[in-house]
A and B are shown apart, each in its own frame.
Chain A
Amino acid sequence: DAGITQSPRYKITETGRQVTLMCHQTWSHSYMFWYRQDLGHGLRLIYYSAAADITDKGEVPDGYVVSRSKTENFPLTLESATRSQTSVYFCASSEREVTDTQYFGPGTRLTVL
């Protein structure tokens, strides 16, 4: 049971480049989420998705794009990376409702030079 996986686990890129972070879950959970975690801040929601082809903005969506063509995948794209997007990115999923427990992937540590 693979659960929820993220790739890559570590990424270094340069300002202005496009970067895509992958998230895959094997549970057929309806909801999927993307968060960023920075020192001194709580987790901040970037985007979430209630089902395939349904996505919605979270607290900090600017500079990010998501898609969800299949239930199990929820990629996050930084269209033109900036230094302020250096962070640890977590993908999460929950079964049916937003009140359900969220299960987190292992995270991707992204550095933008």
Chain B
Amino acid sequence: GQNIDQPTEMTATEGAIVQINCTYQTSGFNGLFWYQQHAGEAPTFLSYNVLDGLEEKGRFSSFLSRSKGYSYLLLKELQMKDSASYLCAALDSNYQLIWGAGTKLIIKP
């Protein structure tokens, strides 16, 4: 079966760094997405990785290791507005997105 695993909830402090991990098992692989979803709102795109390595976009970075079936999202200089759920999703061989249940990130002052 196809599966995406990510922690259910994480807590971090304003100004700190947090890493949200995601492991995936899919039939075939055509890339990995990270989306942010604030409570009661729609998901919004953060990043897409298809090659191994780290991609940096401002305070957010995303890493992919295809051989390990592993990705992480790194958030630096955390702000209160970063409190949200972070969704990991992998594209399988049929180009369908398989979504994780999301990691709820709580930022404390």
Contacts and interface: CB of A to CB of B under 8 A. Distances in A.
A90 B42 contact: yes
A25 B44 CA distance: 16
Which among B45, B96, B97 has the highest number of chain A CB atoms within 10 Å? B97
Given A99-B31, A99-B95, A43 B87 contact: yes
Contact of A58 (B45, B91, B96): B96
A42 B44 contact: no
B30 interface: yes
A43 B35 CA distance: 11
Interface size range on B against A = 20 to 34
A42 B35 CA distance: 12
A36 to B, nearest CB: 11
Interface in B67-100: 87, 89, 91, 95-100
Given A104-B42, A104-B44, A99 B102 contact: no
Contacts of A113: none
10 contacts: A42-B89, A42-B99, A43-B87, A45-B97, A90-B42, A98-B97, A101-B33, A102-B97, A104-B44, A107-B42
Interface of B: 4, 30-31, 33, 41-45, 48, 50, 87, 89, 91, 95-102
